[in-house]
Structure 1
């Protein structure tokens, strides 16, 4: 999806309004990423409602952005990916202090921190 959106952007396929949506997505998704980092690094800071809202808003914005450019299959793929990660039971499991996912989450957070430091996220 990232590659498809990048190709659309590089070829000037987005309208002014769609570019505003892209910027809105960037800001909202960055906030969600920062929340994930914070929830991992700061004990008892996990806020399911905040993260679910941020992910669902990000999904909606992305779908609006690409709706006129990509196929229904691509839109369904966006829905599938965001639905997987915006699952309350999954998120609760991931952010439990004694989570079996803690180690892998640590690797993901380290990668996210690196991407944010390098301007890639």
Structure 2
């Protein structure tokens, strides 16, 4: 949500804050998949986060008028849709029932 807020509210972007959050996510993800993925997959995670958590890339992505702005806008719009999705906001039992209904054409 911080990444979205930085995009939607002018002059609020702080590269150190977003870089720190991305590194925390990186660490958490690696802990979650530690025993489930191969070293090659771990390397891919490192590659992606190393690229996207680069403070200079973040500055360019969040700077007005930069060519990354349209892509950042699309990413933030997609994240907002995910956040607003009722399937993500329900408890597990209700989510399964709702998803089962959706998959069988009930929605």
With normalisation by structure 1, the TM-score equals: 0.68
CA RMSD of aligned residues (A): 1.5
Aligned to 1:92: 59
Aligned match of 1:111:
78
SS in structure 1 at match of 2:83: helix
> Can you list the C-alpha shifts for 1:53-87, whole angstroms capped at 9, x where unaligned?
11111111111111122110011111111111101
Shift of 1:120: 4.5
RCO higher in 1 or 2 (8 Å CA, sep ≥ 6)?
1
Residue 37 of structure 1, CA deviation: 0.9
Structure 1 gap segments, 5+ residues each: 1-33
Q: What is the 5 A alignment of 1:9-88?
A: 34-88=1-55
Computing the radius of gyration over CA atoms, which structure comes out larger, 1 or 2?
2
Count of residues in Structure 1 that have an aligned counterpart in Structure 2: 88
CA distance, structure 1, for counterparts of residue 71 and residue 29 of structure 2: 26
Alignment correspondent of 2:101: none
Equivalent position of 1:102 in the other structure: 69
